[in-house]
Amino acid sequence: MNALFDFILYPLFYILPAYIANGAPVIFGGGKPLDFGKKIGKSYIFGPNKTIRGLAIGIMLGIATGTLESIVPGFSYMLVVGVLESFGTHLGDLTGSFVKRRLGMESGSSMVLMDQYLFFVFALAFAYPAGNMPNVYGLLFLVILTGILHKLTNAGAYVLNLKKVPW
């Protein structure tokens, strides 16, 4: 069929709820940490950068994105996909922070691959049961795009003073 649609446009449309759920906390997050400052041993459970507001607003805006997309004729399933991706994104993000803290890594420190891709892998794994995943070329495009966007958005957030570190 239409290669531009299959390999680029549809993958973007499909993953948008996860990207929004993941990016929103950088802008709207902050406040009380999800772990209430509690530690396991010497390190925080998740750390001060994982906040209740970031989680709540991230999931809400991710679901709102999927809901809007589901209005497009033929794409009603994006409502379910959006919900699954939003929860998956944040479970992946928290898993990453949890693992980093267990390894004794400071909040905001960089861990290659996990920082970029754990939310993405979780989002796709959660949404998989709802079907309609992009094809393998589309997924490959998203893998490349996610790596690039992660770099660009973090550098942008740093320039805009939304983040303390440029990664």
51 touches, from Mg ion, ligand CTP, none (C-beta below 5 to 8 Å by class) = ligand CTP
* Cβ at position 64, least distance to ligand CTP in Å: 17
Given 3-state DSSP classes, what are the helix, strand and coil percentages for the chain, each rounded to the nearest 5?
65, 5, 30
Given the rule CB under 6 A, which residues bind ligand CTP?
Answer: 25-26, 29-30, 47, 49-51, 54-55, 93, 96-97, 100, 107-109, 163
Q: What residue type is 159 in one-letter code?
A: V
Which residue number places its CB atom closest to Mg ion?
115
Cβ distance 123 to 62 under 8 Å?
no
Q: Which does 15 bind (CB under 5 to 8 A by kind): ligand CTP, Mg ion, none?
A: none
Q: Report the Cα 29 to chain-centroid distance in Å.
A: 13
For the four alpha carbons of 95, 99, 104 and 106, in that order, the dihedral sign comes to: negative
d(C-alpha 52, C-alpha 96), whole Å:
16
- C-beta of 6 vs 115, nearer to Mg ion: 115
Cβ atoms of 118 and 143 closer than 8 Å: no
Could you tell me the smallest distance in angstroms from the CB atom of residue 51 to ligand CTP? 4
The single residue listed with the structure tokens 């009380």 is 32
CB of 131 to ligand CTP, least distance (A): 28
Please tell me the distance from the alpha carbon of residue 39 to that of residue 14, in angstroms, as a whole number: 37
CB of 99 to ligand CTP, least distance (A): 9
Find how far residue 39's CA is from the centre of its chain.
24
- The residue (of 76 and 110) whose beta carbon lies closer to Mg ion is 110
Q: How far is the CB of 48 from Mg ion (least distance, A)?
A: 13
User: Which residues in this chain contact Mg ion in the complex, by CB under 5 A?
Assistant: 115
134's contact among ligand CTP, Mg ion, none, with CB below 5 to 8 A by partner kind, is none
The residue (of 46 and 141) whose beta carbon lies closer to Mg ion is 46
